[in-house]
Chain A
Amino acid sequence: MATTTMPTRSQPSSLIGGQLPRWATPTVGASAVAAAFALNLTTGLAGWFGTAIVAALVFLVIQSIWSFRVEGRRHAVDRLATTLVYSTFVAAIVPLVSVLFTVLVKGLAVMSWAFLTDSMRNVSPRAEGGGVGHAIVGTLQQVGIAAAFAVPVGILAAIYLVEYGRGRLAKVISFFVDVMTGIPSIVAGLFIFTAFVLGLGLERSGFAAALALAILMLPVIIRTTEEMLKIVPNDLREASYALGVPKFRTILKVVLPTALAGIVTGAMLSVARVAGETAPLLLTTFLTQSYNYNPLEGPQASLPLFIWDQITSGTSASVGRAWGGALVLITIVMLFYITAKLLAARFAPKG
């Protein structure tokens, strides 16, 4: 009787393969950091940045080899990829956090109630003291005026494009919105300077600056609003028409409320984006060191110009004030973001 031996394939005896112990990752991590520090201390090579790189490399190598020996190739590659994804995330976050941290530390050093409310009137660049009050007023007014123009116009333009626009005119407008999105901010300033100051012979002012900012805000608002309107399901429009609701009321009462959360976010983000613009302000308004509550007349300060001015003065006192101004600017932008998020959550369709 001939016994036929089945060709045996090497198969794992069970579903459980080799596995690194739970403590593997922290241990390898800790030893990698320790090794990197040791190298740093003994040889004095590289700064903290180099040490971090060395630690990461050591971690990668040890983990890969260990995992390959115990768990096999697939797991080793998986661990390697996971580590790379995490470390690129950290690499992206580090500069962000360190910028915020630096601004926070250096800005807080000069922060006080007086700093927030004083102007730079009669404060020499070398002297301590002075404040950003006049620049806060300018920025809020200029951005506010810009938003007052750009938000309604932008939303109406987007409504036209999505709900009414067909044919050539809509295509042309859409094309120009795309072009406007790419306009460098200084060109917006140049345009207002040419049209407003040279063309109409008007004085440079906070108002002119606001117009330049409005030009920058417009395409952002139009595009985000357009996207938000487009994702409102057509079913809802039809349901409304079928109830005998006229088109403009359908847009006003059904389409806009459904898209409102996104539209508000878009508007707020565009505000946040232009609040820090410097270039267009250089051409459209003069900096002043005093309070000016009237955007229509005379020079008006703003936070970006204030920061720029203090840095170019170059004394340690003025650079300190620049950091303070930067902190105020970031805080204002942050408040806009938070308001945008809160409003969005409030308006979001329920259920």
Chain B
Amino acid sequence: MSKSVELQDVDIYYGTFKAVEGVSLTVAKNAVTAFIGPSGCGKSTVLRTINRMHEVIPGAYVKGKVLLNGEDIYGTGVDPVNVRRTIGMVFQRPNPFPTMSIAENVLAGVRLAGERMSKSDAEAVVEESLRGANLWEEVKDRLDRPGSGLSGGQQQRLCIARAIAVKPDVLLMDEPCSALDPISTLAIEDLIRELVEDYTIVIVTHNMQQAGRVSDTTAFFNLAGVGQPGRLVESGTTSDIFSHPKEQATEDYISGRFG
């Protein structure tokens, strides 16, 4: 079941450095939301805040509220491990576990969390997740081969399979195609459109065409100036943001006049 995410007046810090300020944003469920904006404006930082991956960095912390279906994921007593099981993440560079086979990679989230699973259940999860990531046909004959032996695009789809194998409600993707060729990129974009049936998806991208192709909603982030925290400039349906943005900065960025 996919869930909506709401950020309420979120400030994000790396130690004493305030990287992002005053972000309020609603991410609708069963929709693709794209984060766009110039480099360093805090897109990844906001994305990582949504599943508490931000806290992995020493000294980093968050002020404000992040609600998952109305429940504050930074509330007292909330276990970040549970948050991350509910909100999965796919990274910029494909990062399959090098000691594990393709099947083991898919099962990693389930197995490493210590859950026991019968062999037939495990096989079912592997097939379902790999089919979900459009990778099954390519790898079904070599599930016991190392995951690092796949091509970059296949590795990225393996990482997506791994992320959806734990059945999250929300899927965060930080520039998932930036290390891939155009064909693999299209494959992943198609996949995103399929996945949105079941998941809420947030994707960071530098590629305007990609944002236009895959997203329903777009959020534009920007920096007020060097050394200043990043801000959310505006958000809205992708067609609105791309055809008649309210802010001049958004229009400049989208039309390629800066950034």
Q: Which of B99, B112, B148 lies in contact with A250, CB distance below 8 A?
A: B112
Query: CA A351 – CA B51 in complex, angstroms?
Result: 31
A244-B84, A349-B99 given; name 10 further pairs at CB < 8 Å.
A235-B91, A238-B56, A242-B84, A242-B91, A242-B163, A244-B81, A249-B114, A253-B112, A350-B99, A350-B149
Interface residues in chain B, defined as those with a beta carbon under 8 Å from any beta carbon in chain A:
51, 53, 56, 58, 81-86, 88-89, 91, 93, 95, 97-99, 101, 108-109, 111-114, 145-149, 159, 162-163, 166
Does any Cβ of B come within 8 Å of A318's Cβ? no
Does any Cβ of B come within 8 Å of A317's Cβ? no
For A233, A245, A254, A257, which residue has the most chain B Cβ atoms within 10 angstroms?
Answer: A245
Q: What are the interface flags for A239-253 relative to B under an 8 Å C-beta threshold, 1 for contact and 0 otherwise?
A: 111111110011001
Query: CA A246 – CA B51 in complex, angstroms?
Result: 14
For A233, A241, A349, which residue has the most chain B Cβ atoms within 10 angstroms?
Answer: A241
Does any Cβ of B come within 8 Å of A74's Cβ? no
Nearest-neighbour CB distance to chain B for A254, whole angstroms, equals 6
B97 in contact with A239 (CB, 8 Å):
yes
A240 in contact with B112 (CB, 8 Å):
yes
- Provide 10 A-B residue pairs closer than 8 Å at the C-beta atoms, listed in order of the A residue: A237-B56, A240-B112, A243-B109, A245-B108, A245-B109, A246-B113, A249-B112, A250-B112, A254-B108, A350-B99
Known: A239-B91, A239-B97, A241-B53. A351 touches B112 (CB 8 A): no
A257 in contact with B99 (CB, 8 Å):
yes
Query: CA A12 – CA B112 in complex, angstroms?
Result: 68
Known: A239-B95, A242-B163, A244-B166. A166 touches B112 (CB 8 A): no
Does any Cβ of B come within 8 Å of A64's Cβ? no
Contacts of B145 in A (CB 8 A): 351
Query: CA A175 – CA B184 in complex, angstroms?
Result: 48
Does any Cβ of B come within 8 Å of A236's Cβ? yes
Contacts of B53 in A (CB 8 A): 238, 241-242
Known: A238-B56, A243-B166. A258 touches B85 (CB 8 A): no
Q: Which of A246, A253, A351 lies in contact with B149, CB distance below 8 A?
A: A351
A235 in contact with B99 (CB, 8 Å):
no
Interface residues in chain A, defined as those with a beta carbon under 8 Å from any beta carbon in chain B:
166, 233, 235-246, 249-250, 253-254, 257-258, 260, 349-351
Of all chain B residues, the one with the shortest Cβ separation from A250 is B112
Q: Which of A239, A245, A257 lies in contact with B81, CB distance below 8 A?
A: A245
Nearest-neighbour CB distance to chain B for A194, whole angstroms, equals 40
B159 in contact with A243 (CB, 8 Å):
no
A235 in contact with B95 (CB, 8 Å):
yes
Query: CA A240 – CA B107 in complex, angstroms?
Result: 12
Query: CA A240 – CA B113 in complex, angstroms?
Result: 10
Contacts of A166 in B (CB 8 A): 58
B91 in contact with A243 (CB, 8 Å):
no
Query: CA A246 – CA B83 in complex, angstroms?
Result: 11
A243 in contact with B85 (CB, 8 Å):
yes
B149 in contact with A245 (CB, 8 Å):
no
Contacts of B163 in A (CB 8 A): 242-243
Nearest-neighbour CB distance to chain A for B84, whole angstroms, equals 4
Contacts of A249 in B (CB 8 A): 112-114
Nearest-neighbour CB distance to chain A for B17, whole angstroms, equals 18
B113 in contact with A244 (CB, 8 Å):
yes
Contacts of B99 in A (CB 8 A): 254, 257-258, 260, 349-350
Q: Which of A238, A246, A257 lies in contact with B91, CB distance below 8 A?
A: A238
Contacts of A233 in B (CB 8 A): 95
